[in-house]
A = this chain, B = another copy of it.
């Protein structure tokens, strides 16, 4: 029995690439593709594929959110995350939201087929590259509390301790303590270093 595969990706070239890769496979049936989250959801109302290859960068909604929605509405569909970048946090979020696997766009035909067949059977599949960087990053990833992240965010926006204290309705001393803990946890030399490392660890984003 053939496995039907649907693709959600806004990159035309990637869709074409996957289509041509899968064309030669006997066990795969091409269900179609969507360039955004909305048309993906519309398609699923008509027809349910076995596996969805889902890009995490979509124009209207993140693949992470879409993954959650699709899994809630159609728990029987298996979702395989697809991305150019090997970002720890994205992999985790996709898996948390019900994805069965994660494949990088530089995957070979073999790796892609392996992944599709694994998730179609309900198994989990992660690209080798993803697995190895997952292990690497596990050692060095500091754990921040909710409050610390909040303070970090405000620091990166250029607020001073007293401004942050006012905003969070706590004393300057408290903010100062959080700041010290942040410096220690991220092993930062000072604020500049802290912000750079925070962006590197994806605690905050440089872009809005």
Partner of A189, one of B57, B158, B188, B200: B158
Partner of A16, one of B21, B84, B160: B21
Output the least CB separation between A202 and chain B (Å).
9
The answer for the CA separation of A108 and B106 in the assembled complex, in Å, is 20
Partner of A12, one of B15, B106, B196: B106
The answer for the CA separation of A14 and B107 in the assembled complex, in Å, is 10
When distances are taken between beta carbons in the complex, the residues of chain B under 8 Å from A189 are 158-159
Output the least CB separation between A129 and chain B (Å).
11
Grouping DSSP codes into helix (H, G, I), strand (E, B) and loop, the A interface class, with mixed when no group exceeds half, is helix
When distances are taken between beta carbons in the complex, the residues of chain B under 8 Å from A138 are none
Max chain B Cβ within 10 angstroms of own Cβ: one of A189, A194, A196, A197: A196
The answer for the CA separation of A15 and B105 in the assembled complex, in Å, is 10
Q: How many residues of A contact B (CB 8 A)?
A: 41
Q: Mark A5-24, 1 if CB is under 8 A from B, else 0.
A: 00000111111111111000
Output the least CB separation between A144 and chain B (Å).
16
Query: 5 additional contacts, CB 8 Å, given A191-B192, A195-B196?
Result: A12-B106, A19-B20, A20-B20, A191-B191, A192-B195
The answer for the CA separation of A207 and B201 in the assembled complex, in Å, is 9
A117 at the interface (CB under 8 A from B): no
When distances are taken between beta carbons in the complex, the residues of chain B under 8 Å from A14 are 11, 13-14, 17, 105
The answer for the CA separation of A57 and B16 in the assembled complex, in Å, is 20
Task: Give 29 CB contacts A-B under 8 Å.
Answer: A11-B14, A11-B84, A11-B105, A12-B21, A12-B106, A12-B108, A13-B13, A13-B17, A13-B21, A13-B105, A13-B106, A13-B112, A15-B17, A16-B18, A16-B21, A17-B17, A17-B19, A20-B20, A84-B84, A156-B196, A157-B192, A158-B189, A158-B192, A196-B204, A196-B206, A199-B206, A200-B206, A200-B207, A206-B206
